[in-house]
Chain A
Amino acid sequence: MTHPQARVDPDLPEFLWGSEGVRDTVPPAAPRPTKARAGHTPGEAGLWIFILGDMTLFAAILIVFLWDRRSDPVVFEESAHQLIQPIGAVNTLVLVLSSYLVVRATYAHRGGRHPQARRLVAGAVGCAAVFAGLKAFEYYSAISSGHTPSTGTFFTFYFVLTGLHLLHVIVGTALLLVWQAMLKRRRSWTGSQKVAEGIASYWHMVDLLWVAIFTLVYLVSAE
């Protein structure tokens, strides 16, 4: 075992060197020079690679969906009428409301009003739970009336798109809870801006994706 005050043994890998102090002798790499740019990117620039990549993938699936619809518009229309449109509409409103709460929570956190921000984030998590509950009911009623992912192209896309989206809602809820925990520890805005804005941006993406899915799968296909 290495003694707490063990000297650096250059033959050992860095992480086996032992004492806390030793790490200071490792010359810390200079932090990457950050390019000064005008304006402000919510979260950080890298996050937007993920968000735009994610949206591109959803867009690609939606484009193939619309492409396949051209070959069989009648079946797509009949299938779209099997969906419960009011539930989709309510879910859209629920997610838009949650986005609004997230915006308010960002302002509250920035202004240092932690308890208020916590209530607002909790409200957004509540909206996510309502969304998931209604989605589960929708799946239940679709499957019990005999529509499964393998009953035709429309339902394949319906289940794949809404399933992938639901996964995003779940990940987003986990991220909102991370934010909630940060607020509980009363983390200052300067220390948590990147994370909080990143989570808020992700949540808005989840909302935006749902609006696109609802429009194209529930409304346009039913025309």
Chain B
Amino acid sequence: MLTNRILTLCAWAGPATVVVAMIGWLIAGVLPVPLGSESSIEAVVSFYSHDTRVIAGLVISTIGVSLVFPLIAVIAVYMVRMEGRTPILAFLQLITGAATGVCLLLPLLLMTTIAFRPDRSPELTMTLNDIAWLLFITPIAPFMIQNVAIGVAILNDKRQTLPRWVGYVNFWIAFSFIPDPLAFFFHSGPFAWRGIFIFWLALTTYSVFLIVMGLTLRKAIRESAKPDVSAVNAAAT
């Protein structure tokens, strides 16, 4: 069935987001060690001076991050099934998911823009880099609302379209993003934007979100396809 194939493809977009974005960040040099709030002006300027490589990597990562949109769509389809007549949480998930995607895209585009003219005044590069990173790390509320909406919908679903543990995983992921606004207060240490409880924790749990949602939805799509096949067989005989 074509619909199921599209749904499966959208579910796979979740894990693909992680893979493609990581490849892009590795090429650009955002990974393995990103620029931090304590990085010197020289370090920041020299990061962006490798402009072709940085731009190419960041462009790949914007494509990667955008693969979250198909995943959000397939989550929404399944949340509509869970909620029945008034799928308010499904719509909430759509809106906040879209906002999260945009919040991830914009800072990456800003970083690409910094690499566009690397010979500008170093202070400007520094300021733009601060804006890019703080925009990247701190707007957590839409994503947390999205997680809670998904979690509540799963736990309220009598038919258990998705396993209940996925709901609890979503609550845990929402919790793991709470420290992120601390990036505004600290310039070094574990709660600065490059710290383990900010960038690294968020990167880990966001990857867990994309992979868990993608794989459990793929399984649910496969399971929901089975009765249709038996129904067709029954009609044929």
Determine if A164 is an interface residue (Cβ-Cβ < 8 Å). Answer: yes
Determine if A46 is an interface residue (Cβ-Cβ < 8 Å). Answer: yes
Contact assessment for A50 and B172 in the assembled complex, using a CB-CB cutoff below 8 Å = yes
Besides A49-B168, A53-B172, 4 other CB < 8 A contacts? A15-B80, A15-B83, A45-B165, A46-B168
Specify which of B85, B165, B171, B182 is in contact with A15 (CB 8 Å cutoff).
B85
Main secondary structure of the interface of B (DSSP, over half): helix
Which 8 residue pairs across A and B have the least CB separation, nearest first? A46-B165, A50-B168, A53-B172, A46-B164, A46-B168, A32-B160, A50-B172, A29-B159
**Chain B residues proximal to chain A, CB less than 8 Å:** 80-81, 83-87, 158-161, 163-169, 171-172, 175-176, 178-179, 182, 185-186, 189-191, 196-197, 201, 223-224, 227
Q: How far is the CB of B176 from chain A (nearest CB, A)?
A: 6
Q: A15-B85, A44-B164, A160-B179 are in contact. Are A50 and B227 (CB under 8 A)?
A: no
Q: A13-B80, A46-B165 are in contact. Are A54 and B179 (CB under 8 A)?
A: no
Return the chain A residue nearest B162 by Cβ.
A32
Specify which of A32, A149, A156 is in contact with B163 (CB 8 Å cutoff).
A32
**Chain A residues proximal to chain B, CB less than 8 Å:** 13-15, 23, 27-29, 31-32, 44-47, 49-50, 53-54, 57, 60-61, 64, 68, 149-150, 153, 156, 160, 164, 167
Contacts of A15 in B (CB 8 A): 80, 83-87
Q: A46-B168, A164-B179 are in contact. Are A153 and B160 (CB under 8 A)?
A: no
